[in-house]
Amino acid sequence: MNFFEDPVTLSIIASALGLVLLITTLLFIRERKLTNKCRNQITQLAHTLEQSLLPNTSSPLEIPPLEKDLAVLTPPINQLLATHANQEHDRYQVLKELAQGLNHNMNNLLFGILGAAQLIERHSDDSEIQSWAQVAYTDGKKLTDLVKQLTEAVTEQFDPTPDDIDLTATIETLLSDNQQGWLKTAAANNQQIRFRTELAHPCALIRSNPSSIAKMIEQLLQNAVDALRADGTITVRTFQPNPLEVAIEVRDDGIGMTGETRRRIFDPFFTTKKALGTGLGLSKVMTIVLQWEGTVAVTSEAGKGTSFVVTFPAIDSPTEAPVDENPAVQHARVLVVDDQEAIGALIASALNDNFDVTVFQDAESAIRAFQPGLWEVAMIDLDLPGTSGDQLANRLGEHDPDIIRILMTGWALEKDDPRRGSFEYHLQKPVTDINLLNTLISDALHNSKRRTV
């Protein structure tokens, strides 16, 4: 007799299947609160399955038909899965909206903090006050990066805006934030790791995206830590191989690489870490380096360690923005509309030496005072009470087609956001260098090309 024709075997199989379905069903009920209708349907099926497990005194062939009862599971389980998916989506949306709101509010506050710190340092003759202003600025910039990283992690939207970057300062921040964690992990594995730095002071700047560069350096450091299978030293240095370039080297005396491994380390999904890695880390490093016109040189020898040298084009050190000597530019009239009184005052203070600045805190006040030709430039916050910033920009443009409109916002807007279309320029808050305000207005008065700072 065929195995599947044996009544006892069929009864055992049906009972086992019933037990599995019963346990699965009960777990579903415990983990999620179903609607009463769904719960009743599943409970009824569970009862049917329980009955199939009881000793059948009449005949082992009299197995309760399960096809119809199993079909009952489909609607409630589908609803359960849909509810779970909706709950995950809703949770993600809440986190995303919270992160975006935090990003906007913190960027507005940081605009004031960073700008005020720079103005205090610029105008104070007291060295101690200048020192404390520098501390406030440095910590404010760190907080700016932290807020940006949080927003990017939750929203998966990455800010591509470039900035002037000091590689030495970036490395010092990363080591300050991560070194103790790496040392503790090594100690737990009976390892002793030493970090050695040879950092250039001052260091020529590069032009890149701060988040991308920080991720690149952190990945190189993590890669060096993973390469130390026993005690070892990681050396990090910044230097200028020539006046036109800036380089960072991350070197370890760990396990090193064979020639074949060295040839493949930048291939996506290639890894020697097995369960520890995805194989994407160094691939992302290469992507970032190429994106910002850099190069990577790798030297390694099995058993002796590895060195990564990443080189970027150097840029000139930032200086006080030169103001155009053309009187029409130097004495241009600038309208500033921002509902944050402190930010309006800060912008006015940063611009007053070169431009004639008028500040309003709402759109209605600006509209009442507005006359065609009265202002050459309008700097407008997006999130204004009542009439929004983009609506105000449209109104001003209708009455004065020649006015240059600059969007100021702490919101991270998508490139295709229709509100961008109401402005010629976009200034993302916070501004880490208030000299950019003067530069932007001077550039704007010379041309009408759209650009982002």
Could you report the per-residue pLDDT of 362-371, keeping only the tens digit for each? 999 999 999 9
Q: What is the C-alpha to C-alpha distance for residues 133 and 121, in angstroms, rounded to an integer?
A: 6
Determine the pLDDT at residue 344: 92
The residue behind tokens 């020649």 is: 402
Q: What is the C-alpha to C-alpha distance for residues 150 and 200, in angstroms, rounded to an integer?
A: 30
Determine the pLDDT at residue 319: 45
Cβ neighbours for 441, distance < 8 A, ≥ 6 positions apart: 332, 334, 351, 355, 377, 406
pLDDT tens digits, one per residue of 114-142: 888 899 988 888 889 988 988 888 888 88
Q: What fold is seen in the domain 162-315?
A: Heat Shock Protein 90 (3.30.565)
Q: What is the C-alpha to C-alpha distance for residues 441 and 403, in angstroms, rounded to an integer?
A: 12
Q: What is the C-alpha to C-alpha distance for residues 401 and 360, in angstroms, rounded to an integer?
A: 21
Residue pair 52/10 in contact (Cβ under 8 Å)? The answer is no
- Give CATH superfamily name and number for 327-452: Response regulator (3.40.50.2300)
Determine the pLDDT at residue 158: 56
Q: What is the C-alpha to C-alpha distance for residues 36 and 34, in angstroms, rounded to an integer?
A: 6
Q: What are the structure tokens assigned to 197, written together? A: 């730095």
- DSSP for 146-187? HHHHHHHHHH-------EEE-HHHHHHHHHHHHHHHHHHHHH
CA angle 331, 333, 334 (to 5 degrees): 125
Determine the pLDDT at residue 2: 47
For the CA atoms of the chain, what is the radius of gyration? 32
Per-residue pLDDT of the chain (453 residues), as tens digits, is: 544 455 555 555 555 555 555 555 554 445 444 445 555 555 555 555 445 444 444 444 444 454 454 455 556 555 655 555 555 556 556 666 776 777 777 888 888 888 888 999 888 888 899 889 888 888 888 888 777 766 666 555 555 668 889 999 999 988 988 888 888 888 888 888 999 999 998 888 999 888 889 889 998 998 898 888 788 999 999 999 988 999 999 999 998 888 787 777 777 655 665 544 444 568 778 888 888 889 999 999 888 899 999 999 998 654 444 545 554 456 789 999 999 898 999 999 999 888 999 999 999 999 999 999 999 999 999 999 999 999 999 999 999 999 999 999 888 777 788 999 999 998 888 888 888 888 889 888 887 543 444
Determine the pLDDT at residue 53: 46
pLDDT tens digits, one per residue of 148-177: 766 666 555 555 668 889 999 999 988 988
